[in-house]
A and B are shown apart, each in its own frame.
Chain A
Amino acid sequence: MEIRVLGPGCPKCQKTEQAVKDAVAEAGADATVEKVADVMEIAKYGVFGTPAVVVDGEVKSVGRIPPVEEVKKWLQKWNKEA
């Protein structure tokens, strides 16, 4: 699966990226984490506020740092469906 962290590089965005990476590592999920800093790329997702997390094209959180536990749930749900 493909996870994208949207955010131009403020401290909050970096923490979000870290949280997502931690979650992926802890869950041992097969996922790539990519940071998107380009403003136009971010706008394409229609998110009104950063940091935002997009999992396989689906916007999961906007404007906050998601806790590691929550990110793990997103990973699980996806794994079950697959």
Chain B
Amino acid sequence: MKERTKLLLIVLTFLACYYVPWDHAVIRQSGLEAFMMLQEYAREHVLTCLIPAFFIAGAIAVFVSQASVLKYFGATAKRILSYSVASVSGTILAVCSCTVLPLFAGIYTRGAGIGPATAFLYSGPAINVLAIVLTARILGWQLGLARAIGAVLFAVITGLVMAFIFRKDDASRTAGEMYLPDEEEKGRSLLQDALYMLTMVLILIFAAFAKPAVGSTGLWPAIFAARWYITIALLIVLAVMLKSWFTKDERVTWMQSTWGFMKQIFPLLAAGVLIAGFMLGRPGHAALIPDQYIQGLVGGNSLWANFFASLSGALMYFATLTEVPILQGLIGAGMGKGPALSLLLAGPALSLPNMLVIGGVMGAKKTATFCVIIVILSTIAGISYGWMAG
């Protein structure tokens, strides 16, 4: 950050402190909502959902071999494989934002070209494990699923369209040498790795098991009643696996990587929740922005509402995961389900600062095309989803 930017920030903060009428009823209500929403997250989501998800993300970053996936992004890899891998590899590659842009630039300049590169760039932020888990948990599994499917599908379409529009350009690019991340020696089989990941995912599922509807019978309430016993049993299994399959170094790196994600993401998420709470309030509670504005702009499922949601999502910057509380606030204030999906699909993949970086890599014309394709596709997806979800 430049010194001048810092000064500007301090001056702005000062002016806000000085002039905002903090004792005005609406401002007080908004401030209360901000902290009520933060408390809701702390009570409902942090221990049972976010913490397990961070451990999984940490494990993915450390134990899943990136080299095995990256070879499909080489200049000589089969195109169909490149596209399929690009559209889903965000689950394991994009957990750390610091891998996405260099990898995108690498695929674009040295590897499989503009199609797979843009496919990867688009799907990454939407299908990493933290984003899926939190979206499904807070906004409902339907929207979580729609987000994951939409992201994968549109990644392929966007990539193919980009590759088609700029096909001449792609042919003239020179392929140079490429260096993949070093393969590390491992003392475990693939099955052991898979079982280890599966155990953690099961812990996440049971710890966050949803309360069944009152009066329902059968398996669901039985599982709910036993969920803590199941979780504890799974934790013991996990402990045994860690003790017998992993070396001390590996366990330490896993902890470090998990801790790294927590440090990076928790403060941003808390800030996002506070802002969403202040502006929009919890569902059913009023805050700074009156509900009728939200309903007027992005309520229902009109073409305009979907387009507006997807365009503003494309321009806005969402720090990792903060799109979720913001959408929660918006939906609570009357945003339609279609526009919500539009924003989820266009939002995290694009933002003004992000566009500048992408523009630096592949030029203004291609970046603009990329953004237009995404805004159009997100709008269409929103309309279809809003129509299906009724």
Contact = CB atoms under 8 A, between A and B. Distances in A.
A59 B176 CA distance: 13
Interface string A56-82: 000101111000000000000000000
Interface residues of B, number: 32
A50 B99 contact: yes
Main secondary structure of the interface of A (DSSP, over half): mixed
Main secondary structure of the interface of B (DSSP, over half): helix
Contacts of B96: 10, 12
B98 A9 contact: yes
A39 B102 CA distance: 6
Contacts of B99: 49-50
Interface residues of A, number: 25
Nearest to B104: A39
Interface string B30-69: 0000000000000000000000000000000000001100
A42 interface: yes
Interface in B63-79: 66-67, 70, 73
Interface in B181-208: 181-182, 184
Contact of B106 (A7, A9, A10, A48): A48
B101 A62 contact: no
A11 interface: yes
Highest count of chain A CB atoms <10 Å: which of B66, B107, B264: B66
Contacts of A48: 70, 73, 103, 106-107, 110-111, 178-181
29 contacts: A6-B102, A8-B98, A8-B101, A12-B98, A39-B101, A39-B102, A39-B105, A39-B361, A40-B105, A40-B360, A42-B102, A43-B102, A43-B105, A43-B108, A43-B361, A46-B109, A46-B177, A46-B178, A47-B106, A48-B179, A48-B180, A48-B181, A49-B66, A49-B70, A49-B103, A50-B98, A50-B102, A62-B182, A63-B67
